[in-house]
A and B are shown apart, each in its own frame.
Chain A
Amino acid sequence: MSDLALQPTQASEDVHAAGHDDHGSHDDHGLVHATSTGLSNNKLGMWLFLGSECLLFGGLISTYMLYRGRHSANLGPDQIYDIPFTSVSSFVLLMSSLTMVLAVTSAQRRDERRMNLWLTITALLGATFVGGQVYEFTSFYHEGLGFTTSLFGSSFYTLTGFHGVHVTVGIIMLMALVGINKRGRIPGDRAEVVELVGLYWHFVDIIWILIFTLVYLIPS
């Protein structure tokens, strides 16, 4: 979870150099992205980080798949999941990817007002999803499935909880973007910063599609 702490870091680190390409400290600095690969440092860093995250979720999903069948007779995946409810909240999260795309486009067009609007809507949709997850966890808990009730319970809450934390961190980054942007304080290339947060957001959505399919849709 602390891995996530690095997001804003990466987003802010290199942008200054890109913004001041007239200093010529590097021979090839006059180009927009004066790197050996042509990809900006921030973006390359973000892609690598997301690659690393794939293995984090890979490990958690494997754990869940191993333990999904280990539960008492009446508190297993087939009895407890409310597929229609989770489908709706999954749909909400998917829609937030769409609004994120719109935010990135607005940022690239330097349309600040729309950018702030779409970022806020994305954050709200994300918050709706997290709210749904909190509701889901509470109702499971009331049905008797605690974190330590069974191996199924532990691995379910761990996997979906980790995803929920990722979404929450994403929401914090979105809100921070809006807040900082209103005070004109995003250092460097603003469109790229928004794009980086967007990459992270889409990644979290894709992971959810995977989790939704493997955890909820495939009967145990």
Chain B
Amino acid sequence: MTIIERPSLTPVVAGSGVSVGVKPSQAYGSLRRPVSSTGWRSWVFTVDHKKLGIMYGAVAMFFFLVGGVEALLIRAQLAGPNGTVLSAGLYNEMFTMHATTMVFLFVMPMAAGFANYLVPLQIGARDVAFPRMNAFGFWCFLFGGIFLNTSWVLGGAADGGWFMYQPNANALFSPSHGIDFWGLGLQITGIASLTGALNLIVTILNMRAPGMKLMKMPIFTWMILVVQFLLVFAIPVITVALFLLMFQRAFGATFFDVGAGADPLLWQHLFWIFGHPEVYILVLPSFGIVSEVLPVFSRKPLFGYRFVVFSGAAIGFTGWGVWAHHMFASGLGPVSVAVFSMSTMLIAIPTGVKIVNWTLTLWGGKLWFTTAMMFAIGLIVEFTIGGLSGVTHAVAPSDTQQTDTYYIVAHFHYVIFGGAVLGIFSGFYYWWPKIFGKRLSEKIGKWNFWVTIIGMNLTFGPMHIIGLQGQPRRMMNWTEARAGEGFFNLGFWNRVSSSGAFILACGVGLFLINVIVTTRKAEKAPLDPWDARSLEWMTSSPPKEHNFDSIPVVHSLDEFFHRKYEENHETGELTKVATAEEVLADLEAHADAHIHMPSPSYWPIVLALALPIMGYGIIFSRILIVVGGLLVLLSMFAWTLEPSVADDTDYDPPGDPRADDGGPTKELATHV
């Protein structure tokens, strides 16, 4: 909605993407705006939701590999008896950082990347509501992630587990700066999540294309909306917890010091009030992805769209009333345990509704087993296993037996890998041609899928057995003497699990190979390779900077599909009435003459850079706090004074490329 003028009357563009005639603003002296539309500057100062989405994805992928290497080191340590790969201290750091990285630096930002890229396209908008804040969020995530990981070389990483239970995470038991880095780093990435969430909610609620009522929104956008509401209310709770932790470790407060009369359960409550909604923050975006993928490759509309929407919203609400199921073993008292046990069983219902809906979407469809489809079906199967073991935790007596064993590790990996990560891979294969204009190789894709699925089940499946046999999680060693015998021999299953982890790594490696192979090949994907249903496919691939030449008017759910096909109301048969190219040509024929796109800006990255500086200041030297604080003030004032959209003379993005190659001329409005 906030958009830059495009000089369509006299195109200023000579070649592809090189802009000529750009006049930097003189209005603010040293505060003039960045203008490059090519090269690294066009990425670093960009406010384009698509570029930011790609950057979110790329950085999250990098952290996925980092977290993956950490996981492999853990499994290497446990591959044999009396493992010596890691020292006890390093082992603690490894599992803490593995979880932290995967949750906060991979799954969450990867979902943010998908949301950033796709939500504006799916609702027919040209960008998000607050483009600079969007850029700020990305840089906070990147700098926060780097800050967190510099702890490895600055005295050791956090070693208290990703839940950082107190008082175990006190300076007394963890004297390195690792946990300080952890707390401050998560504050910074938390700002990324919070700003991103505010931005996406406003975008979704306020910037839908005309005619797109809430119940005509694509299901992925719906799930993202639910997740952003969860973030808006969950992030401040972990923020409080992290502040208390920081005051305790840095300034000598005693919030969690049992010796001073504190209540260590305070931390657990705050953490899990955030932590349980966090589980849905991790998986709901992937639920959204497969809810897009399954109908497309079943050649049927999503079964019970309304049920999927409402069950998503129901999960969003009830997700707030179950947190203490993480604390059944902490002595909450029988009433609390009973209440939370019940509520946890109840929340399985809306989740089950979704699985039923997906299955019924497949039922009777003309299934097309692309890699995206296979990952989506993989999610249904694997997530169901995780969901069922989750229900066994809802039964408090059974949970008390399982608490802190590998059974829990098995459960949440089936939920997070089997749910969130498989969905993310499904999304990669489905939207790759949209984002990069090329289809990922289906041949490598099939290998990618099967190796990943076999690897994950070999890794996490045995953990059920290991856990029920009583192997505690976070234990750095097992010994042959106590491994047991026969089918339940812990040593055997630990070896299986460790080999599975390396197979899983090969699966992920195949994906990377696929990306490289695909990038190298010249063949472009067709405009609508999957015969898709929603608005993001109703534009070129990759989309133009302004997404749509004219904003489509929406008449139905699956708008794009309904523009391509007409349904015979008696027989229910579909006739193709238009190709994707024709639909797009129709939109382009009625192009808007003056499209305003938001201008790039220096300040998001500068403001975000100030935060880790303050973080280092809190840990090492108070002077850096002042430096960072001044930088915050400076960049905020500069940001405030800079209009979100430059004046017409400030920045002209490349003109309509079609104007050069003699494409169809379009009607131009008279006002300039």
Contacts and interface: CB of A to CB of B under 8 A. Distances in A.
Nearest to A153: B253
A59 B270 CA distance: 8
Interface in B186-217: 187-188, 191, 194-195, 197-199, 201-202, 205-208, 210, 212
A23 B131 CA distance: 19
A59 B594 contact: no
B636 interface: yes
Given A14-B129, A15-B644, A158-B253, A44 B233 contact: no
A148 B236 contact: no
Given A8-B636, A49-B198, A63-B266, A41 B236 contact: no
Given A3-B194, A17-B2, A154-B255, A176 B640 contact: yes
A16 B201 contact: no
B620 interface: no
Interface in B581-623: 592, 594-596, 607, 611
A147 B254 CA distance: 9
B239 A56 contact: yes
A39 to B, nearest CB: 7
Contacts of B671: 22-23
B551 interface: yes
Interface in B647-672: 669, 671
A67 interface: yes
Interface residues of A, number: 58
Contact of B640 (A22, A26, A180): A180
A148 B252 contact: yes
Given A27-B210, A59-B237, A154-B255, A180 B641 contact: yes
A72 B195 CA distance: 42
Contact of B198 (A26, A45, A187): A45
B251 interface: yes
B129 A60 contact: no
Contacts of B132: 9, 13
Chain A, interface SS category: helix
A26 B1 CA distance: 7
A17 B1 contact: yes
Given A20-B596, A25-B126, A158-B244, A187 B641 contact: yes
B206 A37 contact: yes
Chain B interface mostly helix, strand, loop or mixed? helix
A35 B206 contact: yes
A155 interface: yes
Q: In this complex, which of B2, B132, B195, B640 has the most chain A Cβ atoms within 10 angstroms of its Cβ?
A: B640
Contacts, number: 192
B136 interface: yes
A25 B236 contact: no
B645 A55 contact: no
B630 to A, nearest CB: 13
Contacts of B669: 24
B2 A16 contact: yes
Interface of B: 1-3, 5, 126, 129-133, 136, 187-188, 191, 194-195, 197-199, 201-202, 205-208, 210, 212, 232-233, 235-237, 239-241, 243-244, 247, 251-255, 260-263, 266, 270, 551, 553, 592, 594-596, 607, 611, 632, 636-637, 639-645, 669, 671
Given A3-B194, A17-B1, A48-B198, 13 more contacts: A10-B130, A12-B643, A12-B644, A13-B132, A13-B644, A15-B644, A23-B671, A27-B210, A34-B1, A59-B239, A151-B260, A158-B253, A185-B641
16 contacts: A2-B188, A2-B632, A5-B191, A8-B636, A14-B2, A15-B644, A17-B2, A23-B5, A27-B553, A59-B237, A66-B266, A147-B247, A151-B254, A151-B262, A154-B255, A185-B641
